[in-house]
Chain A
Amino acid sequence: MNIVVVVRQVPDLIEPLEIVPSGDALDLDAASFILNESDDHALEQALLLKESGGGSVTVVAIDFGDVDNTLYTAAAKGADRIVKIACDGDTPPAARDSAAVYAEAIKPLRAELVLVGVQAHDELDGGLSPFLAAALELPYVGVIRGVKAGDAPGTVAACKEFPGAVMARMNVKLPAVLGILGADQPPRYVPVSRIRGAMKTTQFEESAATLAAGELLLSVSRLYPPAPATRAEMLSGSEEEIAGRIAEILAEKGLVK
């Protein structure tokens, strides 16, 4: 199966987020970037499908947010080809604009299956994956946790997650785009030595696709950290003191028996 995986870099939420002086955007110069978590699962799912049924995995990414390390890591994990799309701007494109340029880059690859993380935490204008499906004129289903080869040739079976740990098994005729929430197993660990090896041997392919800004349908006027209506009463002191206070609260509520 010829599988294409789209990966994106997102600000690392472990680091504090800063806002530009104009107040309407994240200060991305102050951010550190990591691979979008559900895209990591999309890559893992693609590698699992390749390992079980053969084929190839091509990773496609817009050149934004220190993406090279992520791409070398993908190569070290087993991706066969890496395609990069040039990005001149200092902010990531909107989801629709991203979808258009990804579609332009992916069409020549003749993918049977396109896997994309179902959500990126820095998106305000919707999911890239369904917009990409629309741009590629391919069917789409998202919130997928696990994909296997289907019973019939040219199909896959995808598990769509619903509340209560309930799944719907969906039969997907290929080609198609799937929005991945989780892979059949956690993203694999790859030793740093293999990533260094991939840095020496991997050649990125430059896509001819070019980013273009579409009509602005959603514009941010102000960003701010949320001001909660309520806030926890914070317990302070050493770990032992805090533990003692929590045990006291639990005892007061009749929860220590």
Chain B
Amino acid sequence: MSAQDVLVLAETRGDALADVTFELLAAGRELARTTGGQVLAVLLGPGGAAYAPALAAADRIIAVDDPRLAEYSPEPFASALREVVEAEQPRAALIAATSIGWDVAPLLAARLDAPLATGCQAICPDGDGLMVTASFCGGKMTAECRVAASPAILMMLPGSYRPTGETGKGELEQRSPAAPLEPGAIAFEQWIYPEAGDVDITQQDVLIAVGRGIQQQDNVELAEELAQALGGAVCASRPVVDQGWLPATRQVGKSGMTVKPKLYLALGVSGAPEHQEGMKDAELIIAVNTDPKAPIFDVAHYGAEVDVLDLMPALGEAIAARKG
């Protein structure tokens, strides 16, 4: 236990640790190196010990088990994490900006009266506080912020750190909460999986992505025609799915799918960090957007600053001409 330690909340996806957990461990290691503390990985839920070998990047792995942690619900998770943070008093607690992170990080900050910073991309010590670089305004603005108190609760933007492969002591500690966790008023009931039958965009070599710039549902058809010409499928950023123009199974990004196609043609997609999280590793990214400052151009290989509604018919003709 040290006020220089860095705590990382580990998350799982299915039977494996979520990729973002390894990014957080890399961030934690970099910060702990400068504070002189240790990296603590916290796993909430039954069977946490099984993940210990994969968490070797941490110095200590704290696996908290309780029947209330078998499936996610906010109150038991926030209470269990609070107990660990209060016991360990770390300099910072790193929590990914995920569906669970967006619940537990602010709840933890509220209950500990601790500072909370969101959109964090980089962290370094600053006297007795921390200096955090954070992204906001949909990725169009970066802020350098001083976080004054410990423990700082930092919501980390996925993709901000690369896993290093560096290992720590990897000592496993298995714990139970001091008192049985209360179920809370919000309880998990069941998982709802997407209906089978729609296109699996994670398996496509060519994806034509449409964003807010597509303007109206009728224009999705133009993207469908391009996808057909290239032997691919249409996917979308969140605003398009929110409008009901395409099903949730076509959504790319933090709350949608992660894709790695050979071609990702982004049409009218601004490229907020949440969207980039799901597509930045595509082999070839071509982005079309009227906003020259759109963050999508930061991850694209090629870009064009034109209206997608003007470009799509012209591109369809150009592809048809190539195909003869």
Contacts and interface: CB of A to CB of B under 8 A. Distances in A.
A binds B: yes
Interface of A: 11, 13-14, 16-17, 26, 37, 41, 95-96, 118-119, 121-127, 129-131, 133-135, 139-143, 145, 157-173, 176, 179, 181-182, 185-186, 216-226, 228-236, 239-240, 242-244, 246-251, 253, 255-257
Given A143-B99, A164-B257, A239 B306 contact: yes
Given A157-B189, A222-B143, A250-B263, A243 B102 contact: no
A131 B113 CA distance: 10
B245 to A, nearest CB: 9
18 contacts: A125-B115, A125-B116, A126-B105, A126-B116, A126-B155, A131-B110, A134-B107, A139-B185, A143-B255, A165-B247, A221-B146, A225-B142, A239-B306, A240-B318, A246-B318, A253-B262, A255-B230, A257-B323
Contacts of A131: 106, 109-110
Given A176-B186, A223-B141, A255-B263, A243 B111 contact: no
Contact of A247 (B255, B304, B321): B321
B262 A235 contact: no
Contacts of A126: 105-106, 109, 116-118, 155
B54 interface: no
Interface residues on B, range: 35 or more
A250 B319 contact: yes
Contact of B189 (A145, A169, A239): A169
B192 A167 contact: yes
A170 B186 contact: yes
Contact of B256 (A165, A167, A232, A256): A165
Given A17-B141, A218-B117, A221-B146, A141 B318 contact: no
Interface string B184-207: 111111111110000000000110
A243 B118 contact: no
A187 B281 CA distance: 32
Contact of A233 (B186, B255, B263, B302): B302
Interface of B: 13, 71-75, 98-99, 102-103, 105-107, 109-111, 114-119, 131, 134-149, 155, 184-194, 205-206, 230-231, 238-239, 241-244, 247-249, 251, 254-258, 262-263, 265, 270, 284-287, 291, 293, 295, 297-307, 310-311, 314-315, 317-319, 321-323
A253 to B, nearest CB: 6
Contacts of B73: 141, 170
B322 A256 contact: yes
A145 B290 CA distance: 30
B117 A119 contact: no
Given A181-B255, A218-B116, A225-B293, A249 B106 contact: no
A80 to B, nearest CB: 25
A41 B40 CA distance: 38
